[in-house]
């Protein structure tokens, strides 16, 4: 193989100057290096590093001033905090931490710069190319927010709207959220015809296939797409419906189901059906296998290579976020859709802005939060009137859309991120990683200890959004 593809983010004051000096001095190092000049390593967002891997980099080097000499005071320590947490996330995704390296290189250390590049290139050559699933990356990119388009044509006046509800890979909470609206749901649905709702009505696939294309006004689909059958249903309802709404976190970004992407389908099946089965059937069929049921042969739907959001397999017109959607948000979205008051296509039918902007605890948040120790929620009773982050408790509020009130915050539990990203943020996990690490204070060793205090960074920061993240699942170096 040729030289590995290495991307280097170099701070202008030190590492880039060292690289410039190395070039002028004709010091030898692999020319496959692609340098990106940045004002400070503290400005290198985790999402930029994930994007580099997604677009074909075999390794990423972040190099800047030695601690204590940063002209932006502590920008390099912020980079160190982010790096300590990011490499743990990458490892969970199957990407060796050796592929993401942080180094301190002074402006006069041209020889050291050349040495670091040579060492890292040799190590990447030994690891081999980073193999990310092209299909997984393509599906994740499809699921990212599209630019708003003009609203669809309104339904003809006087016609009773025809609705469909379908349940893919999820816990069913989104289905219950509709029923939990109580009398509001009855009023909203009183003037509609529900043609499909497996949770409440008996309807067969043949009945849906017989409907003319476009004859359903709105189809609400909740859950991630994990099985081949679910992908088929999503495409079928896309053909039959004028509007498709992704209902809930799993449909929007993959949700909890997306965490299955940290394992291979074979590992999931082995664990669920062989190592820890809910039924005693050690030699029974697995999804994808043929089986006999009621005297005839059927084939169980197989797992897709990874869980994906609804938008990865079918065009989504609108999103109602949440796990499950908050009653006020869901009711407002239903009223708007059934009235034909349609926003631009692609809109998220929920308030904009972060949860922190509307949190009742915002007044208690200090102007500059400094976290020197992380607390465990399982062994801590939070102060009900103080910002969770100011207490050293991980809260996803800075990277999460508001509108879920009272939600978890009202129950004195930190935000977990189920309402999805704010407008313009494609990877809320990376955004929260950056925000959290920027609040940590300490020397390099202390920052590594803070990163180590997050027991499951991938499962915590990407609890609801892994399937639509910059790297949407396991790949790379992990066997």
CATH number at residue 124: 3.40.50
pLDDT at 173: 93
Q: Specify if 477 maps to a domain.
A: no
Crossing angle, helix 46-54 and helix 75-92, to 10 degrees? 40
d(CA 246, CA 224): 9
User: pTM (2 decimals)?
Assistant: 0.90
The answer on 307 and 165 residing in a single domain is: yes
Half-sphere exposure of 243 (CA within 13 A, CB side): 29
The answer on 147 and 274 residing in a single domain is: yes
Q: Specify if 378 maps to a domain.
A: yes
pLDDT at 90: 95
pLDDT at 288: 78
Q: Which of 66-80, 273-287, 442-456 has the highest mean pLDDT?
A: 442-456
d(CA 57, CA 286): 37
Own/partner pairs, 202-207, CB within 8 angstroms, 24+ separation: 205/233, 205/236
* Domains in the chain, number: 3
Taking the mean position of all CA atoms in its chain, how far away is CA 286?
28
Q: Is residue 406's pLDDT more than 80?
A: no
Lowest mean pLDDT of 96-100, 158-162, 245-249, 276-280, name the range. 276-280
163 bridge partner residues: 194, 218
Burial class, 444, CB count within 10 angstroms (exposed 0-12 / middle 13-18 / buried 19+) = middle
Q: Which of 150-159, 253-262, 354-363 has the highest mean pLDDT?
A: 253-262
Q: Specify if 473 maps to a domain.
A: no
Q: Are 442 and 80 in contact (CB under 8 A)?
A: no
What confidence tier does 187 reach under pLDDT thresholds 50, 70, 90?
A: confident
445: three-class secondary structure by DSSP: helix
pLDDT at 479: 58
pLDDT at 138: 73
pLDDT tens digits, one per residue of 110-153? 999 999 999 999 999 999 999 887 777 777 666 665 556 666 66
Lowest mean pLDDT of 157-166, 308-317, 358-367, name the range. 157-166
d(CA 26, CA 38): 23
Q: Specify if 475 maps to a domain.
A: no
Q: Specify if 50 maps to a domain.
A: yes
Q: Specify if 172 maps to a domain.
A: yes
Q: Is residue 459's pLDDT more than 70?
A: yes
Q: Is residue 405's pLDDT more than 80?
A: no
d(CA 49, CA 252): 24
The answer on 409 and 308 residing in a single domain is: no
What average pLDDT does this structure show over 332-342? 89
pLDDT at 120: 95
Q: Is residue 1's pLDDT more than 60?
A: no
Q: Is residue 158's pLDDT more than 70?
A: no
| Boundaries of domain holding 202 | 139-339
Strand 33-38 relative to strand 296-299: parallel, antiparallel, unpaired? unpaired
pLDDT tens digits, one per residue of 249-262? 999 999 999 999 99
pLDDT at 226: 95
Which of 130, 164, 180 is where one domain is finished? Answer: 130
The answer on 236 and 143 residing in a single domain is: yes
Strands (E), 186-249: 193-196, 216-222, 225-227, 241-247
Polymer length in residues for the chain: 479
Task: Report the greatest alpha carbon distance in the chain.
Answer: 79
Which of 130, 151, 185 is where one domain is finished? Answer: 130
Which helix (H) or strand (E) segment is 111 a member of?
A: helix 110-127
Q: Is residue 434's pLDDT more than 80?
A: yes
pLDDT tens digits, one per residue of 215-250? 999 999 999 999 999 999 999 999 999 999 999 999
The answer on 126 and 144 residing in a single domain is: no
The answer on 171 and 292 residing in a single domain is: yes
What average pLDDT does this structure show over 418-440? 91
The fraction of the chain above a pLDDT of 70, given in percent, is 94
CA 285 vs CA 90, 229, 302, 339: distances in Å: 34, 17, 11, 47
The answer on 410 and 297 residing in a single domain is: no
CA 323 vs CA 119, 184, 283, 369, 442: distances in Å: 46, 20, 35, 28, 35
């Amino acid at each position: 193989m040729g030289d590995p593809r290495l991307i280097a983010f170099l701070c202008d004051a030190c590492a880039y100057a060292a690289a410039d000096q190395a070039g002028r001095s004709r010091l030898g190092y692999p020319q496959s290096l692609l340098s990106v000049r940045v004002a400070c390593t503290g400005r290198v967002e985790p999402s930029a590093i994930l994007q580099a891997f997604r677009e074909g980099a075999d390794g990423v080097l972040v190099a800047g001033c030695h601690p204590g000499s940063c002209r932006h005071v502590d920008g390099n320590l912020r980079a160190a905090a982010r790096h300590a947490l990011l490499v743990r996330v990458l490892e969970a995704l199957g990407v060796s931490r050796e592929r993401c390296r942080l180094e301190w290189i002074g402006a006069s250390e041209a020889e050291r710069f050349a040495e670091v590049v040579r060492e890292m290139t040799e190590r990447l050559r030994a690891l081999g190319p980073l193999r990310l699933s092209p299909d997984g990356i393509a599906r994740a990119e499809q699921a990212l927010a599209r630019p708003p388009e003009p609203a669809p044509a309104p339904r003809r006046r006087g016609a009773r709207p025809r609705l469909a509800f379908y349940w893919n890979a999820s816990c069913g909470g989104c289905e219950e959220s509709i029923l939990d609206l109580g009398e509001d749901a009855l009023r909203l649905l009183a003037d509609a015809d529900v043609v499909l709702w497996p949770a409440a009505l008996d309807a067969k696939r043949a009945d849906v296939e017989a409907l003319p294309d476009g004859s359903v006004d709105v189809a609400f689909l909740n859950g991630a797409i994990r099985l081949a059958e679910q992908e088929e249903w999503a495409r079928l309802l896309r053909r039959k419906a004028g509007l498709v709404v992704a209902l809930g976190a799993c449909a929007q970004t993959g949700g909890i189901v997306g965490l299955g992407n940290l394992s291979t389908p074979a590992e999931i099946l082995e664990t669920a059906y062989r190592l820890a089965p809910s039924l005693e059937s050690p030699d029974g069929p697995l999804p994808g296998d043929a089986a006999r049921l009621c005297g005839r042969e059927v084939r169980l739907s197989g797992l897709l290579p990874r869980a994906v959001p609804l938008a990865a397999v079918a065009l989504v017109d609108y999103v109602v976020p949440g796990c499950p959607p908050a009653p006020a948000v869901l009711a407002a979205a239903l009223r708007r859709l059934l009235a034909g008051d349609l926003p631009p296509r692609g809109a998220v039918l929920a308030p904009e802005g972060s949860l922190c902007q509307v949190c009742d605890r915002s007044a208690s948040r200090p102007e500059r939060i400094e976290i020197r120790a992380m607390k465990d929620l399982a062994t801590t009773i939070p102060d009900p009137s103080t910002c969770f982050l100011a207490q050293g408790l991980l809260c996803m509020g800075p990277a999460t859309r508001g509108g879920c009130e009272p939600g978890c915050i009202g129950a004195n539990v930190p935000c977990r991120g189920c309402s999805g990203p704010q407008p313009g943020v494609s990877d809320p996990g990376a955004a929260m990683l950056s925000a959290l690490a920027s609040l940590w204070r300490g020397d390099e060793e202390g920052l590594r200890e803070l990163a180590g205090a997050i027991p499951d960074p991938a499962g915590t920061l990407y609890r609801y959004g892994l399937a639509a993240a910059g790297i949407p699942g396991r790949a790379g170096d992990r066997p």
